[in-house]
Amino acid sequence: MRKIDNRTLAQMGLNPDLPKHVAIIMDGNGRWASKKLLPRTYGHREGMERLTGLVRFVSDIGIESLTLYAFSTENWKRPQHEIDALFGLLIEYFDKQIAELHKNGVRITLLGDDVRFSEEVRQAIRNATTITKGNRGLKLNLALNYGSRAEILRAAKSIVEDVNRGILLPENIDEHEFESRLYTSNLPQVDLVIRTGGEQRLSNFLLYQAAYAELIFVKDYWPDFSDDRFIEVLREFQNRNRRYGGL
Protein backbone atom coordinates (compact mmCIF):
# COMPACT_ATOMS: atom_id res chain seq x y z
CA MET A 1 0.00 0.00 0.00
CA ARG A 2 1.26 3.44 -0.88
CA LYS A 3 2.89 5.25 2.03
CA ILE A 4 4.94 7.87 0.18
CA ASP A 5 2.97 10.94 -0.96
CA ASN A 6 3.58 13.17 -3.99
CA ARG A 7 5.44 15.76 -1.93
CA THR A 8 7.92 13.19 -0.75
CA LEU A 9 8.25 11.91 -4.31
CA ALA A 10 9.06 15.45 -5.45
CA GLN A 11 11.77 15.64 -2.78
CA MET A 12 13.26 12.54 -4.38
CA GLY A 13 13.23 14.29 -7.75
CA LEU A 14 10.36 12.15 -9.01
CA ASN A 15 7.02 13.10 -10.51
CA PRO A 16 3.92 11.04 -9.68
CA ASP A 17 4.00 9.33 -13.07
CA LEU A 18 5.85 6.23 -11.93
CA PRO A 19 6.24 3.13 -14.10
CA LYS A 20 3.27 0.79 -13.53
CA HIS A 21 5.32 -2.35 -13.94
CA VAL A 22 9.00 -2.65 -13.07
CA ALA A 23 10.91 -5.87 -13.74
CA ILE A 24 14.33 -6.55 -12.26
CA ILE A 25 17.05 -9.01 -13.19
CA MET A 26 18.69 -9.34 -9.79
CA ASP A 27 22.19 -10.23 -10.92
CA GLY A 28 25.58 -10.13 -9.25
CA ASN A 29 25.16 -11.97 -5.93
CA GLY A 30 27.99 -14.39 -6.70
CA ARG A 31 30.43 -11.69 -7.75
CA TRP A 32 29.47 -9.59 -4.73
CA ALA A 33 30.52 -12.51 -2.52
CA SER A 34 33.65 -13.42 -4.50
CA LYS A 35 34.87 -9.84 -4.28
CA LYS A 36 34.71 -10.24 -0.50
CA LEU A 37 36.35 -13.71 -0.71
CA LEU A 38 33.13 -15.29 0.56
CA PRO A 39 31.28 -18.31 -0.86
CA ARG A 40 28.67 -17.43 -3.51
CA THR A 41 25.83 -18.49 -1.21
CA TYR A 42 26.69 -15.58 1.13
CA GLY A 43 25.95 -13.34 -1.80
CA HIS A 44 22.57 -14.96 -2.28
CA ARG A 45 21.75 -14.42 1.40
CA GLU A 46 22.74 -10.77 1.14
CA GLY A 47 20.70 -10.60 -2.06
CA MET A 48 17.65 -11.86 -0.19
CA GLU A 49 18.09 -9.10 2.42
CA ARG A 50 18.21 -6.53 -0.36
CA LEU A 51 15.16 -8.05 -2.05
CA THR A 52 13.25 -7.71 1.23
CA GLY A 53 14.19 -4.03 1.51
CA LEU A 54 13.48 -3.19 -2.09
CA VAL A 55 10.07 -4.88 -2.09
CA ARG A 56 9.16 -2.79 0.96
CA PHE A 57 10.26 0.41 -0.80
CA VAL A 58 8.49 -0.41 -4.05
CA SER A 59 5.30 -1.13 -2.12
CA ASP A 60 5.63 2.11 -0.12
CA ILE A 61 6.21 4.23 -3.21
CA GLY A 62 3.03 2.86 -4.79
CA ILE A 63 4.30 1.09 -7.91
CA GLU A 64 1.56 -1.26 -9.12
CA SER A 65 3.57 -4.28 -10.19
CA LEU A 66 7.10 -5.62 -9.55
CA THR A 67 8.49 -8.68 -11.29
CA LEU A 68 11.70 -10.17 -9.92
CA TYR A 69 13.83 -12.62 -11.86
CA ALA A 70 14.96 -14.96 -9.11
CA PHE A 71 15.73 -18.23 -10.92
CA SER A 72 15.88 -18.90 -14.64
CA THR A 73 15.21 -22.09 -16.58
CA GLU A 74 18.97 -22.03 -17.30
CA ASN A 75 19.98 -21.71 -13.64
CA TRP A 76 19.38 -25.48 -13.20
CA LYS A 77 22.85 -25.81 -14.77
CA ARG A 78 24.40 -24.55 -11.53
CA PRO A 79 25.90 -26.86 -8.90
CA GLN A 80 23.19 -28.62 -6.87
CA HIS A 81 24.41 -27.13 -3.58
CA GLU A 82 23.93 -23.61 -4.96
CA ILE A 83 20.45 -24.46 -6.25
CA ASP A 84 19.56 -25.92 -2.84
CA ALA A 85 20.87 -22.81 -1.11
CA LEU A 86 18.78 -20.55 -3.37
CA PHE A 87 15.56 -22.45 -2.75
CA GLY A 88 16.37 -22.68 0.96
CA LEU A 89 16.56 -18.88 0.99
CA LEU A 90 13.28 -18.63 -0.87
CA ILE A 91 11.53 -20.72 1.78
CA GLU A 92 13.17 -18.62 4.49
CA TYR A 93 12.01 -15.43 2.75
CA PHE A 94 8.39 -16.57 2.77
CA ASP A 95 8.63 -17.78 6.38
CA LYS A 96 10.00 -14.48 7.59
CA GLN A 97 8.19 -12.02 5.34
CA ILE A 98 4.77 -13.37 4.49
CA ALA A 99 3.06 -11.75 7.50
CA GLU A 100 4.44 -8.28 6.69
CA LEU A 101 3.79 -8.68 2.97
CA HIS A 102 0.21 -9.69 3.65
CA LYS A 103 -0.30 -6.83 6.10
CA ASN A 104 0.93 -4.40 3.43
CA GLY A 105 -1.53 -5.78 0.90
CA VAL A 106 1.10 -7.36 -1.35
CA ARG A 107 -0.24 -9.98 -3.77
CA ILE A 108 2.30 -12.66 -4.65
CA THR A 109 2.21 -14.61 -7.89
CA LEU A 110 4.55 -17.10 -9.53
CA LEU A 111 5.79 -16.61 -13.09
CA GLY A 112 7.12 -19.99 -14.12
CA ASP A 113 6.37 -23.66 -13.94
CA ASP A 114 6.52 -25.25 -10.48
CA VAL A 115 6.74 -28.91 -11.58
CA ARG A 116 10.48 -29.13 -11.09
CA PHE A 117 10.47 -27.78 -7.52
CA SER A 118 10.66 -29.92 -4.40
CA GLU A 119 7.36 -30.46 -2.59
CA GLU A 120 8.53 -28.10 0.17
CA VAL A 121 9.25 -25.26 -2.27
CA ARG A 122 5.96 -25.85 -4.10
CA GLN A 123 4.08 -25.72 -0.81
CA ALA A 124 5.82 -22.50 0.27
CA ILE A 125 4.93 -20.81 -3.01
CA ARG A 126 1.33 -22.08 -3.01
CA ASN A 127 0.93 -20.95 0.57
CA ALA A 128 2.23 -17.43 -0.21
CA THR A 129 0.09 -17.03 -3.32
CA THR A 130 -3.04 -18.39 -1.63
CA ILE A 131 -2.75 -16.22 1.49
CA THR A 132 -2.19 -13.03 -0.52
CA LYS A 133 -4.58 -13.77 -3.37
CA GLY A 134 -7.20 -11.18 -2.47
CA ASN A 135 -4.76 -8.35 -1.75
CA ARG A 136 -4.99 -5.06 -3.63
CA GLY A 137 -1.54 -3.55 -3.05
CA LEU A 138 1.72 -4.24 -4.86
CA LYS A 139 1.61 -7.12 -7.31
CA LEU A 140 4.82 -8.99 -6.53
CA ASN A 141 5.57 -11.49 -9.26
CA LEU A 142 8.39 -13.94 -8.67
CA ALA A 143 9.95 -15.35 -11.82
CA LEU A 144 11.13 -18.76 -10.68
CA ASN A 145 12.06 -21.48 -13.10
CA TYR A 146 11.12 -18.79 -15.59
CA GLY A 147 12.37 -18.54 -19.15
CA SER A 148 10.78 -16.51 -21.93
CA ARG A 149 11.30 -19.15 -24.58
CA ALA A 150 9.52 -21.77 -22.48
CA GLU A 151 6.76 -19.28 -21.68
CA ILE A 152 6.19 -18.43 -25.36
CA LEU A 153 6.20 -22.12 -26.35
CA ARG A 154 3.69 -22.89 -23.61
CA ALA A 155 1.41 -20.13 -24.91
CA ALA A 156 1.76 -21.41 -28.49
CA LYS A 157 0.92 -24.97 -27.42
CA SER A 158 -2.15 -23.88 -25.50
CA ILE A 159 -3.39 -22.01 -28.58
CA VAL A 160 -2.88 -25.08 -30.77
CA GLU A 161 -4.77 -27.22 -28.24
CA ASP A 162 -7.71 -24.84 -28.19
CA VAL A 163 -7.77 -24.65 -31.98
CA ASN A 164 -7.69 -28.46 -32.21
CA ARG A 165 -10.54 -28.70 -29.70
CA GLY A 166 -12.52 -26.27 -31.79
CA ILE A 167 -12.88 -23.65 -29.03
CA LEU A 168 -10.62 -21.09 -30.72
CA LEU A 169 -10.79 -20.02 -34.35
CA PRO A 170 -7.43 -19.34 -36.04
CA GLU A 171 -8.73 -16.00 -37.30
CA ASN A 172 -9.31 -14.94 -33.69
CA ILE A 173 -5.67 -15.40 -32.69
CA ASP A 174 -4.39 -11.90 -32.06
CA GLU A 175 -1.94 -10.26 -29.66
CA HIS A 176 -4.56 -10.03 -26.95
CA GLU A 177 -5.37 -13.75 -27.24
CA PHE A 178 -1.69 -14.67 -27.21
CA GLU A 179 -0.84 -12.42 -24.25
CA SER A 180 -3.69 -13.93 -22.24
CA ARG A 181 -1.69 -17.18 -22.25
CA LEU A 182 1.53 -15.68 -20.89
CA TYR A 183 2.35 -15.77 -17.17
CA THR A 184 1.98 -11.98 -17.12
CA SER A 185 -1.59 -12.01 -18.44
CA ASN A 186 -3.11 -10.18 -15.48
CA LEU A 187 -0.35 -7.62 -15.13
CA PRO A 188 0.15 -4.18 -16.66
CA GLN A 189 2.56 -3.74 -19.59
CA VAL A 190 6.20 -3.84 -18.51
CA ASP A 191 7.48 -0.25 -18.51
CA LEU A 192 10.97 -0.69 -17.14
CA VAL A 193 13.47 -3.54 -17.00
CA ILE A 194 16.44 -3.05 -14.70
CA ARG A 195 19.45 -5.36 -14.66
CA THR A 196 21.99 -5.06 -11.88
CA GLY A 197 25.48 -6.55 -11.94
CA GLY A 198 26.83 -4.86 -15.05
CA GLU A 199 25.88 -7.36 -17.77
CA GLN A 200 23.85 -5.92 -20.64
CA ARG A 201 21.61 -8.76 -21.76
CA LEU A 202 18.14 -10.10 -20.99
CA SER A 203 19.12 -13.72 -20.26
CA ASN A 204 15.74 -15.09 -21.44
CA PHE A 205 13.67 -12.65 -19.35
CA LEU A 206 10.37 -11.17 -20.60
CA LEU A 207 11.41 -11.24 -24.26
CA TYR A 208 7.83 -10.69 -25.43
CA GLN A 209 6.73 -8.33 -22.65
CA ALA A 210 9.75 -6.02 -22.86
CA ALA A 211 9.00 -5.06 -26.47
CA TYR A 212 8.58 -1.39 -25.54
CA ALA A 213 10.05 -1.38 -22.05
CA GLU A 214 12.84 1.00 -21.14
CA LEU A 215 16.00 -0.93 -20.29
CA ILE A 216 18.34 0.34 -17.62
CA PHE A 217 21.56 -1.47 -16.73
CA VAL A 218 23.35 -0.66 -13.50
CA LYS A 219 26.81 -1.69 -12.42
CA ASP A 220 26.00 -2.40 -8.77
CA TYR A 221 25.86 -6.02 -7.79
CA TRP A 222 22.35 -6.84 -6.60
CA PRO A 223 23.18 -6.78 -2.84
CA ASP A 224 24.54 -3.22 -3.30
CA PHE A 225 21.52 -1.94 -5.27
CA SER A 226 20.21 0.57 -2.72
CA ASP A 227 16.85 2.35 -2.55
CA ASP A 228 18.74 5.51 -3.52
CA ARG A 229 20.13 3.86 -6.64
CA PHE A 230 16.62 2.64 -7.46
CA ILE A 231 15.35 6.23 -7.15
CA GLU A 232 18.11 7.32 -9.56
CA VAL A 233 16.94 4.67 -12.01
CA LEU A 234 13.34 5.90 -11.70
CA ARG A 235 14.55 9.45 -12.40
CA GLU A 236 16.33 8.22 -15.52
CA PHE A 237 13.15 6.39 -16.58
CA GLN A 238 11.10 9.57 -16.14
CA ASN A 239 13.56 11.47 -18.33
CA ARG A 240 13.23 9.03 -21.22
CA ASN A 241 11.08 9.88 -24.21
CA ARG A 242 8.85 6.91 -25.04
CA ARG A 243 7.68 7.09 -28.63
CA TYR A 244 6.38 3.59 -29.39
CA GLY A 245 7.27 4.06 -33.02
CA GLY A 246 5.42 7.35 -33.29
CA LEU A 247 6.81 10.86 -33.44
Residues that bind Mg ion (CB under 5 A): 27
Compare residues 14 and 206 and give the one whose CB is closer to ligand IPE: 206
DSSP category for residue 65: E
Q: Which ranges in 180-218 belong to alpha helices (H)?
A: none
Catalytic: which of 75, 204, 220, 224? 75
By the rule CB under 6 A, 137 interacts with ligand IPE: no
Is residue 147 a contact residue for ligand IPE (CB under 6 A)?
no
The torsion region of residue 195 among left (phi > 0), alpha (psi -120 to 50) and beta comes to beta
Stretches 63-71, 123-131, 157-165, 233-241: which one binds ligand IPE (CB under 6 A)?
A: 63-71
Which residues, 191 to 210, sit near ligand IPE by CB under 6 A? 197, 199, 201, 203
* Contact in structure between 22 and 194 (CB atoms under 8 Å): yes
With contact defined as beta carbons under 8 Å apart, do 61 and 4 qualify?
yes
Given phi > 0 = left and psi -120 to 50 = alpha, else beta, which region is 204?
left
β-sheet with 192-195: strand ranges across: 107-111, 139-146, 65-72, 21-25, 192-195, 214-217
Q: Which candidate, 73, 48, 54, 14, places its Cα nearest to that of 203?
A: 73
25 binds ligand IPE (CB under 6 A): yes
For residue 215, which phi and psi values (nearest 5 degrees)?
A: -110, 130
Whose Cβ is closer to ligand IPE: residue 137's or residue 147's? 147
Selected from 48, 86, 108, 218, the binder of ligand IPE by CB under 6 A is 86
Asked whether position 112 contacts ligand IPE by CB under 6 A, the answer is no
Exactly one of 27, 141, 145, 191 is catalytic; name it.
27
Catalytic: 75? yes
Span from 26-34, 99-107, 108-116, 121-129 in contact with ligand IPE (CB under 6 A)? 26-34
Q: Is 204 a catalytic residue?
A: no
Which residue is nearest to Mg ion, using beta carbons?
Answer: 27
Binds ligand IPE by CB under 6 A, chosen from 30, 137, 147, 223: 30
- How far apart are alpha carbons 202 and 37 in whole angstroms? 28
Q: Which residues are catalytic?
A: 27, 75
What residues make contact with ligand IPE under the rule CB under 6 A?
25-31, 47, 69-72, 75, 86, 197, 199, 201, 203
